Amino acid sequence: MNIIVCVKQTVDLQQVRIRKETREPVLDNIPLTIGNIDKNALEEAVRIRDKVGGKVIAVSAGSEQLTDTIKEALAMGADEAILVISTEFEGADSGAAAAALAQAIKRVEDYGIILLGEGSADNYSGQVGPRLAEILDLPQVTYVSSLEVENGTIKAVRNLDDCFETVEVGVPAVVSVVSEINEPRIPSVTQILKAGKKPKQVFKPEDLGIEITRSITTLSNLAPDQDRKRILFQEGTDKDVASLVSALEAEGLVRR
C-alpha cells in the first residue's frame, strides 16, 4: 500500500511585509516553502510507511519553483514526487488544485491513504481535502489528531469544535490532519543531499486533461489598518511598569 501526501507550496509567511502606503502585502523575492500543517501530514505519512511499508508519494500543484520547493518534502522522507506545474494556478480556485491532485493521484497504483493538512498555510480554506475526496469518490476523515493504520483499516481521532470523535474507515480514504498530531522532523544534511536524486514526475495540466477553473474573483487583498502607538519601555523595571500603568490610566483602560 502506498501513501499519498499532498503538500502546497506557499511563500514563507513569516517574511511577508506590508507596504505601508497601500496596505498591500509584498510577496516578491520571498522564499517559498511547504505549509506547516502539510509538514505534519508528511510526517504522519512517513511514520505510517515505516510501520506498514509501501512508498510515500508527495503530490503537489503549483508554479515552476515547485521542482525546487518539493526537495524539502523529499528530504523529510517522501520517496517520490508527482508535480503538476503551471503558472495558471496563481489565482485559480481550490477546485482547480483538487482536480490537478486527483488526476496525479490516479496515476499511482495501490494507494491506501491520502493525507493533507486541515488547511493550507496561506489561505487556510480547508476545501481541497473534501473536494479531492468527492472527485475520487472516497470517504473523508478530517481534522485528525491521532491516526493508526492496520490491516487496511484506518482508525482516527478527529478534533472537532466541541468534541473528539473516534472513527474507523477502510482504505482508501482521504485524511486531513491538525498540527498537534505530531512534531515534523528536521531533515539531516545527508537527507537534504539525497533529496535532489529522488524520482520526480512532472506534468502540465493539459497532460492530465485538467481545466483550471477560476470561480473566485479577488477584488482586493489588503492588510487591515493597524495604527498602533508602538511605545516601548526598554527595561522592565519598576519605573517602566509605573510608566505603563500611568499610560493605561490616562487612556481610561485601568483604574487604581
Partner 1 sequence: MAAILVFSERDDIAWQLLGKAAELGREMGLGVAAAALGSADPGGYANRGAQKVYISKNEQLKTFEASVYAEALSQVAKQADAAVILIGSTRRGKELAGRLAQKLGAGCISDAGSLEVKDGRLVCTRNALGGATVATQTITTELQVIAVSPGLGEPIESPETAEMVEVELALKPSAVKVIARSEKGQGAVDIEGAEVLVCVGKGFTRQEDLKMAEELAEVLGGLVACTKPLATDEKWLPEDRVIGLSGKSGKPNLAICLGISGQVQFTVGIRDAKTIVAVNQDPNAFIWQMADYGIVGDLYEVVPRLTAALKG
Q: Which of residues 45-74 bind partner 1 (CB under 8 A)?
A: none
Task: Scan residues 169-188 and list those touching ligand FAD (CB under 6 A).
Answer: none
Q: Which is nearer to ligand FAD, 116 or 181 (CB)?
A: 116
Task: Scan residues 212-251 and list those touching partner 1 (CB under 8 A).
Answer: 214-224, 226, 228-236, 238, 240-242, 244-245, 247-248, 251
Q: Which window, 21-29, 46-54, 213-221, 224-232, contacts ligand FAD (CB under 6 A)? A: 213-221
Q: Which residues face 3 on adjacent strands?
A: 56, 113
Q: Which is nearer to partner 1, 164 or 202 (CB)?
A: 164
- Tell me if 170 contacts partner 1 by CB under 8 A: yes
CB of 164 to partner 1, least distance (A): 5
Q: Kindly state the greatest CA–CA separation across the chain.
A: 70
68: enclosing H helix or E strand: helix 66-69
Q: How far apart are CA 54 and CA 112, in angstroms?
A: 10
Backbone angles phi, psi at 187, to 5 degrees: -65, 145
Q: How far apart are CA 35 and CA 129, in angstroms?
A: 15
- Pairing state between β 17-18 and 25-26: antiparallel
CB 156 within 8 A of CB 166: yes
Contact residues for ligand FAD, defined by CB under 6 A: 6-8, 35-38, 41, 60-62, 92-94, 96-97, 101, 116-117, 119-121, 123-129, 216, 218, 221
